[in-house]
Amino acid sequence: MEILIYENLNQIQKKEILRRPAVKAKDEISKIVEEIIQDVKKRGDEALIEQALKFDKVTISSIKISQDSIKNASKRIDKELKKAIKLAFENIKKFHEAQIFKKIKLETTKGVKCELLTRPIEKVGLYIPGGLAPLFSTVLMLAIPAKIAGCEKIVLASPAKINDAVLFCANLCGVDEVYQMGGAGAIAALAYGTQSVEKVDKIFGPGNAFVTEAKARVSADIEGADIDMQAGPSEVLVIADEYANAQFVASDLLSQAEHGADSQVLLVCLSENFAQKVNDEVQKQLENLARKELASQSIVHSKIIVAKNLEQSLEISNAYAPEHLIIQTQKPRELLSGIKHAGSVFLGAYSPESMGDYASGTNHVLPTYGLTKTHSSLNLADFSKKMTVQELSVKGFKRLGKSVAILAAAEALDAHKNAVELRLKSLKEK
């Protein structure tokens, strides 16, 4: 990993070292995704079955997975894995149940009652990628809050052949229907519906460049579906002082690097000596990883930045706005108040990112690519929406009437003014 002394850099260089690898849908990807979406809109299930053979190399006869198949898959899961999944389930459930919105109701003026209520999104689609790593943990992260929020229809899509653990988690979380479909075609089916797939209102979940491009397209179409967020490659920034364990720090950097070649990991530490220790440890641990090739490609565009103190470390972190922020310092909680932008924060030597990815209870679906400056980590609120209510008594209406009429007149909205003055006149006549 490249080691850089932050104080030796000019302003342009400081910005450059925090630049993420370019993420851009190439013209070729855009064209392919558009063709796939139009094909699914036109031919529905038939197109999805052909895509399963073409992209996933699996022959299927139907899109929907039967309940018997889901139950049989659950029987094949190792007991220890089931036990671990259920522990994660309980922790995630507890944390998200604590986020249940409590309605707001108050009188802004005597006789003027205002309320803020929440209602679940009716139909949600959860996308779980296939590929090298079956992300069954993402089923828990998406389906548990959807269920707690009270979504009426929860469906899940994943490329054929769906991993048994994914089906087990779907069943455990109470998912209504599971579809064996993947990529841009799955996103199109969820957004527009097919013979077997019911159209949803909002789509959640990560995916490759084709999935990301498809999500962007359907969310821009008024007839499509909303999405959770545009997710770029995974990333982590670690802040470490001289008391940190170099072995632990290296393992945290690599746990993110193994996600993919375009993942980015950054270490901000306080000395060149510690930087070199971590760098050596990264190379040592890298040799024993099953996904060594992917992680190695990620490490190429990752960096170690030496800051002059912890205050400057926070400055660097806030400028980068990481998806995951790990703080391995002697007193990590003391830095928490200085953190402005991060998707999820991990405090201390024994809070590795892996805990949040699986079982601590927080959600692992997080904004990336600097979007933590404006976006939150996925939470219960994402599966619902808010609506306001107002109710005025006669006395409350009279107290506000004259002021509202003046405001409407000042904006030259006569009908707004009339809606108030006609009522005021009626009250006077009574």
Residues making up the annotated binding site are 234, 256, 259, 324, 357, 411, 416
323 included as an active-site residue: yes
Q: If 0-12 CB within 10 Å is exposed, 13-18 middle and 19+ buried, where does residue 157 land?
A: buried
Q: How far apart are CA 298 and CA 1, in angstroms?
A: 10
CA neighbor of 252 nearest in space, from 373, 344, 371: 344
The residue written with tokens 């779980």 in the block is: 128
CB environment 65-82: b (16+ within 10 A), e (fewer): beeeebeebbeebeeeee
- Given 177, 235, 258, 323, which residue is catalytic? 323
421 included as an active-site residue: no
In the annotated binding site for Zn(2+), the residues are 256, 259, 357, 416
Strands of 88-234, DSSP E: 104-109, 112-120, 123-127, 153-158, 177-180, 202-204, 226-227
- What are the φ/ψ torsions at residue 198 (nearest 5 degrees)? -85, 135
In the annotated binding site for substrate, the residues are 234, 256, 259, 324, 357, 411, 416
Q: Tell which phi-psi region holds residue 57, choosing left (phi > 0), alpha (psi between -120 and 50) or beta.
A: left
Per DSSP, what are the bridge partners of residue 266?
237, 303
Q: If 0-12 CB within 10 Å is exposed, 13-18 middle and 19+ buried, where does residue 235 land?
A: buried
The amino acid that residue 393 corresponds to is: S
Helix (H) or strand (E) holding 254: helix 246-257
- Given 96, 324, 341, 364, which residue is catalytic? 324
Q: How far apart are CA 239 and CA 102, in angstroms?
A: 36
Q: How far apart are CA 254 and CA 299, in angstroms?
A: 8
Q: How far apart are CA 305 and CA 316, in angstroms?
A: 9
Structure tokens at 238: 């670690």
Structure tokens at 341: 């932008």
Q: Are 263 and 23 in contact, with CB atoms under 8 Å apart? A: no
Q: How far apart are CA 86 and CA 84, in angstroms?
A: 5
The amino acid that residue 235 corresponds to is: E
Q: How far apart are CA 151 and CA 131, in angstroms?
A: 28
The helix/strand/coil state of 366 is coil
User: Which residues are tagged catalytic?
Assistant: 323-324
